[in-house]
A = this chain, B = another copy of it.
């Protein structure tokens, strides 16, 4: 059946190849923030006839078409998520790399005001929290959000 992302692609008149359909499905099913390698791994599991170059080309295309958003949480690899399932921010678990999303409407205006004061129109902004899970307390409203793990490699240094 047609995935959500595939539908968006069709709406925007993109040619739907087998590879794109698979990548669209993977993206639609993801509830985390996979990087290209991870997307590639999941896509290949569904259909081996996909190269990583195609994944790179596809995420770039979808980003240009406003279907995907690229994130940079440090560590050198770009990560992707579907556009706009609500404006939200990210809290990155520094121990596991897991990403928790949260909302905070109040920030927007405050930041725009700050920019204004400095003589700028706010075009966009980046707000990320890095935190460590509190041992005792069970988090509320943040059900374990998928397998976002970013297996720290040698080169990795905190952003």
Contacts and interface: CB of A to CB of B under 8 A. Distances in A.
Interface string A91-114: 101100000101010000001001
Interface residues of A, number: 40
A159 B121 CA distance: 17
B102 A119 contact: no
A26 B36 CA distance: 37
A139 B127 contact: no
A15 interface: no
A129, A130, A137: most-surrounded residue (chain B CB, <10 A): A129
A42 interface: no
Copy tally for this chain in the complex stands at 2
B125 A139 contact: no
Contacts of A119: 133-134, 137-140, 142
Interface string A122-149: 1111111111111001111110000000
Contacts of A125: 127-130
A18 interface: no
A128 B114 CA distance: 11
Contact of A131 (B74, B121, B129, B140): B121
Interface of A: 70, 72, 74, 91, 93-94, 100, 102, 104, 111, 114-134, 137-142, 157-159
14 contacts: A72-B74, A91-B114, A91-B115, A100-B120, A104-B114, A115-B129, A118-B140, A120-B133, A120-B134, A120-B139, A121-B132, A125-B129, A126-B127, A127-B127
